Every structure is written in structure tokens, then in C-alpha cells.
Structure 1
Amino acid sequence: MRNIDGGFLAAPDQASLDRRDQDVRKGKLALLLTVAGGFVALIAGYNALVDFSPVSLVVTMIALAVAVGGGVLTKHLMRAVRFRVHKPNAGLVGAAKLTGLLVAFFGIAALLGSIEAPGALRVVLIAGGVGTIAYVKSLHDQQWVLFELDAVGVRVERTIVPWRDVSRLTTDPVGPGMTRLGALPVNAAPLYVAVQDSELDPRLLAGAVGRFAPQGILLTGGQGPAT
């Protein structure tokens, strides 16, 4: 078991890591498409803002379409390699963060264009924009994911438990519109997190347990095994 900020207590086995890596590769092409489209959109959008031309505008729109399409495809493919339950409105907050970053990027780009900044500074701006977006996305996932299952194990908020240390998973209603998800480690205190029912699809959860959990690890509720 470990916290995602560091401090391993028990490392997951190598076979699980290899299996997850193989599954994740399936989505890499779509992710590469998303990143490439976003990068081209930033460059073309910057050029369209600083020195407008119809070609730059068209390239920006096409690149944005490619990035959005790649993002949708990546999300679809990643559902096969992990199951996540987020805090409410995680998608809206993530979109707001991205919008804010893009507004800031193009605002700085307009400023640099107005003062005729050197090309090297513009390259730094583009590279910094891409890096900042990637960092904010990673930080957003850490802060807004409440529960996750994949080939390696179970994540409950910021704690990860490898499958070999899990004895059982639980799901129990705890109030109107709320469900408590839990992981019971073999030699540690149970881990629980309450999630909103609007963010949880019980069928997808049961399917993820069947797909990722080793044989013998059950998903149980207050009345016995969940179905």
C-alpha cells in the first residue's frame, strides 16, 4: 500500500505492472493524436493572433478538431484499462481550468506580439503552455479522483493498494444519493470513501471488478455480494 505522494509500503507485483502497461499502450496512439493536435493548435492559434491569416485560422480549427476527437477516443479507450469515480463536477472544473489556461496563453501571446518579442521567447511560451497544461491535468486527476480500479490495484482517494494486499471490496449506501466504496487490505485498516450516486455506475463498477480484480476478490454490499 502506498500514498500517491510517495512512501511505498508494499509494491505491486511486476506482472500486474506489465499487464497494465500493455493495456495502456492501446490508448497511446489516441493520446498522441490529442497532444499533437493541441500542440499544433497552440502554435497556429498563436500565429493567427499575432499575425492573422486565413491559413492560420483554418489550421487552428482543424488542429482543435483533431485534439478534441483524440481526447474523446482516448477517454473511450482508457475505460478498458481503468475505472474511476470522480468528485462531483470534476469534468466542469477541469474544463474551466483548461479554458483559463488557454485564455492566459493567448493573452500573453497577444502581449508578446504587440511588443514584437523575439522568436525564442515565443517558443518558450508555447513549450511552457504545453507543459503547464500537462501538469495541471495530472494535478487535477490526483485531487478529483476518489476511487479507481486498474490492473495494479485499488486507489481510494490518495492511497493505492495492490491487488495482492486486497481481501475484499465493499459498496454500501450511506445516505440519500450517496454510496460508500471501500477496500479491505489484508493487514491494514479498511479504506473508505463516500461518492455521489450521480458519479457512480454500479454496472460499470461490477464490470471493472470482474475485469481487474484477481479471482477470489469479491465486491460485497451490506447484504452480501453485489451484483
Structure 2
Amino acid sequence: MSAPETTTPPTAPPPLPTATSAASVPVKPSLAVGADGLARCAWANGDAEYERYHDEEWGTALHGDRELFEKLCLEGFQAGLSWITILRRRPAFRRAFHDFDVESVAAMTDDDVERLLSDASIIRHRGKIEATIGNARVTRALESGLAELMWSFAPDASGRSRPASFAEIPAVTPESTALSKTLRALGYRFVGPTTMYALMQSSGMVDDHVEGCFRAA
């Protein structure tokens, strides 16, 4: 993901690195030191839910088909919106779309679409709701599985340096463009190159925690 605008959960987040004290970390424009003394990517500062998402989820590798399908759908719903808008509604999205179980979503009907269009707890966008159902049907038909397909486009981490600031984080990459092209050819919707880079960031295919962030490995 390009750094989240303003920028699901792993089932078992890895242990977090030891906290770095605020006194020992030079504060950069791309970093912010929270009330807890942790230096983190500045986009996560100031909102408790955003901080938890940054600390426990963003950049953590997801390898499950269901988790990546959820991520794909929520990134699609984010188009034109801020990520915090989607994050705050994520529990409602999970209820609306059967916890993003691919088979259950693929079986949803036009009546379900109309019902969801009256559900104020989610984003009531017909195109995105219909795309979520359609994307589930495409996912169901994959021979290799969604996770295997997506991770085949992950860049080689050994040849990539950690960004020193947000200015060094791209909005799109050759890999996200190639993933987008492949998904579109399969019939997926709301999977543009920028959206796919956002997915790569959030699901751990790339690590864009900036230098000095306590999550930076």
C-alpha cells in the first residue's frame, strides 16, 4: 500500500520488537513518538485504533486465502476514501460479508446486494459491493488459491532498502502493476496498481515501515 491515506488482521501477530525510547530516536517528519514512547510511522499517530493497526497488523505477512481475500475487498472499498474510514467499519464489513468466507460471499445474490445498500454500517457503494461478490466467484475458481497467486508477485526483499521517509515510498511498482494486470485479466475489479501496492504493504509482501519506526526490522 502506498503509505495509508491522511494510510486484516493476522490471526497471530509475531512478537513486537523491543520499544525504542523517545530520547534515543531523532524525530523525523515521517516518524512520530507516541504517548507510549514508541517511535512509529507518522501516519499512525494520534488515533488509538490506527496505532494498534500499525503496531500489530500493517506489514505483517498474511498467507491465508481468507485473510488475503478480506484484504483485497477492503482495499477495494477504500478507493477514494481514507483507510481509517474502512478500519473503523471493518467489523461491520465482516458481518455483512460472512467474515469474508469466499464460498459464502460467492453465493450472495442480488437480494443481498439490495440489502447491503441499505446497511449504513458499511460503505454503500453498489459497484464495490457487486465487485466483492464477483471477486469471490473469481477466487473460488482459482486453481492455485489466492495466496499463492498474490505472493508470486512479491518483490525480492533482499534487493530492497528500507525507506528513510515517506518520500521514498512509491505509489506503484512494477510488481503491483503486474499483479493488477493479472487480476484484472482473471476478472477481478477494484484492483488497480495503486490499490495492489497498498495491499502488498499491508499484507507484508513489502515492508514500508520507515527507518526509526519500532516495527522496522
Please say which structure displays the higher CA radius of gyration: 1
Q: Which has the higher helix share?
A: 1
Q: TM-score, normalised by structure 2?
A: 0.25
Q: Which has the higher strand share?
A: 1
Q: TM-score, normalised by structure 1?
A: 0.24
